[in-house]
Structure 1
Amino acid sequence: AQGYTQEEGINYEEVFAPVARIKDVRLFLDYVSFMGFTVYQIDVKSAFLYGTIDEEVYVMQPPGFQDLEFPTRVYKVEKAIYGLHQAPRAWYGTLS
């Protein structure tokens, strides 16, 4: 997605995605242990691909995958993809 070419304020706005501090995780695990609860964990494969972005983003065809009939065609991105600055925030928005 060549996210390194994106400029803040032009190609994207807010990219912050919250992360739990280690102190909070330890406190949570202490409480769970004290109460005798069970903790479950999940991993969402390709999580960033599930987020929906609000900005209009267009991508060029990658080398080796060009449509020979339309070699200069660009495509509008509907969902977040790896490499976009917005991807972590979009995933958080989908998750919450």
Structure 2
Amino acid sequence: MAAPIAASCTGLLRAALPRALSARFFGALGFSRQPTLLTTNVTPLVQQVAGFKVRQLPKRRCHYCYFVRVNGRLHVECSKHGRHKQREPFNAKLLW
């Protein structure tokens, strides 16, 4: 089922580019044929980043971790592993 979709997408790509332009462009880059939509690499636009884990008692997980006090709460930051980030929960009594 994927083959007809890929064939139609390839046909659309070839129809969009003029033949002389595409041959000269792809030949100059060293491609033997035009890339299809399935072979092109798509990079993500947004890099996912893990947030803080909320712990009652944050602990250092490696020797790169260090403690930081932010707005009265204890945070653990790590210069090597971003997944080690932790923080204390909010104290609801202090918020109101």
Shorter-chain TM band: under 0.3
Q: TM-score, normalised by structure 2?
A: 0.25
Report the structure number with the largest CA radius of gyration: 2
Higher relative contact order (CA 8 A, sep 6+): 1
**TM-score, with length taken from structure 1:** 0.25
